[in-house]
Amino acid sequence: MIPDLDLSVRWQLATEPPYDMGQLVQILMAIEKVGNLAAAAKICRLSYRHAWGMIRDGEKHLKTTLVQTVRGQGSVLTELAQQIVVLYRRHEQLLHPHVQGVAQQLNAQLQELYAQQRHILRLHASHGFAVEGLMRWQSDHPSGFRMALQYRTGGEALALLQKKECDVAGFQLPTGKYQDAMLRLYQDYLQSEPLLFVLLACRRVGLFVQPHNPLQIQGMADLVRPEVRVVNRQPGSGTRYLMRWLLEDAGVDADLVLNYGATEFTHMAVAAHVASGMADVGFGIETAARRCGLEFISLEQERYFFAFYQDMVNSAIIQSFLSVLRSPDYKHYMQQLAGYESEHMGTIYTLEQLLQQDLSVSL
């Protein structure tokens, strides 16, 4: 297993030579927190002299004052410095999921090359925190079973499984009335060759709104109100399809909502967009809302499955994958996820059994 690439976003002024603002913003955030340059320097593990020099250098590049010393109050950020800190935090929330996604794609491609020498399970899956937990398990067990994850929409993952370009495909199915509609989207991929499906979890899906729900959003019908700004998922994602069906059932022209506003590629990016104040409402799984301090309005449940070819069920790589899903460490992780229920996790179904089972639970 080769080490993963670690990508990050750098704030840099386009000067000659370029000026890196990263450490400057860190010392500004520390001053905002403690109100004292000496204490802020200690937090950033810098000498007082070095920290003061960084501030002066930043002021020189930005051509403005960033920190003022007020008698009896210590060090205080100017209004511009405060806004720089706000922008840095906001864009860090928004960009982190995208950078993580790019890193995962690059790492998956590198692991594909490495897999030519040592077989690694190729996992293509719709985004979810339970899937994210598999990568955490892998980090905690560096000498154990290896997986190369690449996030896709559920349909894309199943299409790549059909082409034998991945070993396992992760996708979601709504429970109840919307299950058949989603299956019609997947049917070409599910019926080509015999597949087996292992249940990962049931999870709650609904609306993300600001704390205390200031716009008093109650359901999908509120999303067409002119003052409500909506952030959407990308076209082709299972979450977007479910959002469309819920809007239509609420008597709303779904295109008036889905074809406007920002678009994000993961549940966490949607939640971060709302938490930053750039949107009033998003749609996704509960865990993302809770992690960003948002309120959550539950509307539906989904089941999340992993699909693989039936003739692979006894292979060493699939058996290792199933062992991870059923391991105590992974079960413990799943029990901590808000909005997830893992009671039947690791159970294997044929397509016929999957369609007959009612696995919705009281979450």
pLDDT digits (tens, 9 = 90+) for 318-358: 999 999 999 999 999 999 999 999 888 999 999 988 887 65
Could you tell me which residue, 322 or 111, shows the higher pLDDT? 322
Contact between residue 94 and residue 120 where contact means Cβ atoms under 8 Å apart: no
Q: Are 303 and 353 in contact (CB under 8 A)?
A: no
Tokens read off for 36: 């004292």
- Using DSSP's 3-state secondary structure scheme, residue 126 falls into coil
Instruction: Decide: 125 and 170 in contact? Cβ < 8 Å.
Output: yes
pLDDT reported for residue 360 = 45
Whether 361 shows a pLDDT value over 80: the answer reads: no
The amino acid at residue 288 is A
Question: Within a 13 Å sphere around the CA of 262, how many CA atoms are in the beta-carbon half?
Answer: 21
Give the per-residue pLDDT at 191. 82
pLDDT for the residue numbered 282: 96
First-to-final CA distance of the chain: 38
Average pLDDT, the chain: 89
Query: So what's the pLDDT on residue 8?
Result: 77
Residue among 355, 321, 304, 303 at smallest CA distance from 167: 321
Pairwise CA distance, residues 169 & 330, whole Å: 19
Which 3 state secondary structure label does DSSP give 327?
coil
| Tens-digit pLDDT profile for residues 173-228 | 999 889 999 999 999 999 878 999 999 999 999 999 999 999 999 999 999 999 99
More confident site: 116 or 357: 357
Percent of the chain with pLDDT over 70: 95
Is the pLDDT assigned to residue 362 strictly greater than 50? no
pLDDT of residue 50: 92
Rounded mean pLDDT, 10-33: 87
**Average pLDDT for 236-249:** 94
pLDDT in the model for residue 90: 83
Task: Indicate if the pLDDT at residue 157 is higher than 90.
Answer: yes
Domain architecture of the chain: domains with CATH: 12-87 (1.10.10.10), 119-356 (3.40.190.290)
pLDDT of residue 99: 81
Give the residue, 56 or 102, on which the prediction is more confident: 56
Q: What does the pLDDT read at residue 166?
A: 94
Whether 117 shows a pLDDT value over 60: the answer reads no
Predicted confidence (pLDDT) per residue in 258-300, tens digit:
877 789 989 999 999 999 999 999 999 999 999 999 999 999 9
Compute the distance between CA of residue 226 and CA of residue 249 in angstroms, rounded to an integer.
20
In this predicted structure, the answer to whether residue 89 has a pLDDT above a threshold of 60 is: yes
Q: How many CB atoms lie within 10 A of CB 169?
A: 29
Confidence of residue 12 (pLDDT cuts 50, 70, 90): confident
The residue among 46 and 6 whose pLDDT is bigger is 46
User: Pick from 27, 55, 19: which is nearest to 43 by CA?
Assistant: 27
Is the predicted pLDDT of residue 116 greater than 80, yes or no? no
CA-CA distances (angstroms) from residue 97 to 204, 237, 242, 248? Answer: 21, 16, 22, 29
Rounded (10°) CA dihedral 285, 175, 188, 108: 30
